[in-house]
Amino acid sequence: MNRIRIIFAILLILGIISVIVIFVMNYTMLNILSGYAAKNLASSVYIGKRSVEFTLENDNNFSPVNLASVSVDMEAKTATGTAFGLMKRTAVYREGLGCTLVSDDFDINAPYQKPQRTQVKTNSPYPYGDLPQRDTTFTNVDYDALNKAINAAFENPEVQKTRSVLVIYKDQIIGEKYAEGYDVNSSFLGWSMTKSILATCFGILQYEGKLDINAPAPIEAWHNDDRDLITINHLLHMNSGLAWDEDYATMSDVTKMLFLAKDVTLPQAEKAVLYPPNKHWNYSSGTTNLLSGILRKQFENQQEYLNYPYQVLIDRIGMHSMLLETDMTGNFVASSYSWGTTRDWAKFGLLYLHEGNWNGDQVFDENWVDYVQTPAPNSEGVYGGHFWLNAKGQMPDIPKDYYSANGFQGQHVSVIPSKDLVIVRFGLAESPDFDQNKIFGGIAKAINQTESTWGNKNPVKAEMDSLEVVE
């Protein structure tokens, strides 16, 4: 009998030890849980203008994020999350900078700089102005097939979780649909589509003659070791050879950066070289935030850095709903955090479809489009210069010239030059739950480029008169 009791006691002790070990190993992971819940709630409420209840039912309603307890302080413009009563994290909203997950020693009342925005409104139809588009019918568009493909994106809403789909052909919206609770004015988080925005800023700097992407990355700590061989070009193609772990299920490099780092531009810069540049492709959000830090180095002060993406790109092409969020030190979290309406995100795709030309204004060199579409070495044809590709026909129903800004949970701003198409999709699910190949392929097949192009009326280019400048 005593022997049985001893065995039972030993098993009980081992069980308790196992529970303690498991808890300790996962304790720091609670930072991700509470941090994600707080940050996502804050951004959804203060930027997306959604209610707390709507956010909890939709944006934060997936495992394990829905296990966190959250609250908001509308007066202080903060959101707080805890995981099982532990790891309290707070996100604060600052006008012009979005929402930032902050540390306990962060002064939420400290003064801060924000981007200086300028809006130019024109009396022209979308996308070049603010007026509604004119009714246009294209004889070579199979509208039944088009609508069938768009509607398919909204089937099984609990699985596909599509929020919006927008299709633009020859500068004209030919299909647009929103899930219940969202509309043309709803802003959506682009997640890693922000990477493509950041890369475009480098394309503009190159076009302006202010930067050479083939020059060594200006990181002082790299000058005395093999990292001195890494160029901005290598970073844009995710081919630096630097160590980086992009695993969102653990306390990895990327989760530590997004949920713990005060300065998101530093973690990748501190990593060692594992491979020579251009010999190993490795997707890294740390690389993009490192580039955000390099972008900062191009300007004399913080204000110029904050203004730049808006002046040369975002407000320049009328993406006035867009907001880039920053970290605690004022750097753009270019790997992950940007918000805008579906129509404004589509303008970004149209800029690339038109090879950098926005209604007569050449924003970046047309060769930059070739650059971002050139497959990065060792990427198996899936990645270019901070854009995703279909170069080897990985998605067989979509033309191979397809390229796209992609984001977590299936955000897409996709360009198909051979079809003169831009397709935008927002949602909370990606492949295989959202069948991108089938749906985007169906949309592309609805366009027959061999037939006549215009129907009743041609899309009208914006007329640059009657401008109203809004500071």
pLDDT, tens only, 98-117? 999 999 999 999 999 999 99
Distances (CA, A) of 63 to 19, 33, 68: 21, 10, 10
**Which segment of 23-32, 230-239, 375-384 scores lowest on mean pLDDT?**
23-32
CA distance 165 to 218: 40
pTM of the entire predicted model? 0.91
pLDDT of res. 12: 63
Give the tens place of pLDDT for each residue, 322-350: 999 999 999 999 999 999 999 999 999 99
pLDDT of res. 456: 34
CA distance 318 to 204: 17
CA distance 300 to 184: 38
CA distance 245 to 285: 9
Mean per-residue pLDDT over the chain, rounded? 91
β-bridge mates for residue 377, sequence order: none
Percent above pLDDT 70 for the chain = 90
CA distance 32 to 64: 10
Task: Provide the pairing of β-strand 86-94 with 411-416.
Answer: unpaired
> Considering Cα of 428, then 434, then 440, then 443, what sign does the dihedral take?
negative
Report whether 282 contacts 244 (CB < 8 A).
yes
CA distance 420 to 170: 6
- Per-domain residue ranges of the chain: 2-102, 162-211+298-445
Question: Residue 21's pLDDT band (boundaries 50, 70, 90)?
Answer: very low
pLDDT of res. 291: 98
Give the tens place of pLDDT for each residue, 410-464: 999 999 999 999 999 999 999 999 999 999 999 999 999 764 443 333 333 333 3
Q: 10 Å Cβ neighbour count for 404?
A: 26
Dihedral angle computed from the Cα positions of residues 96, 102, 107 and 108, in that order, rounded to the nearest 10 degrees: 40
Q: What residue ranges in 95-161 does DSSP mark as E strands?
A: 98-102, 119-121
Give the tens place of pLDDT for each residue, 75-90: 999 999 999 989 999 9
CA 101 vs. chain centroid, Å, equals: 17
Question: Residue 130's pLDDT band (boundaries 50, 70, 90)?
Answer: confident
CA 328 vs. chain centroid, Å, equals: 19
Q: Report the topology of domain 162-211+298-445.
A: Beta-lactamase (3.40.710)
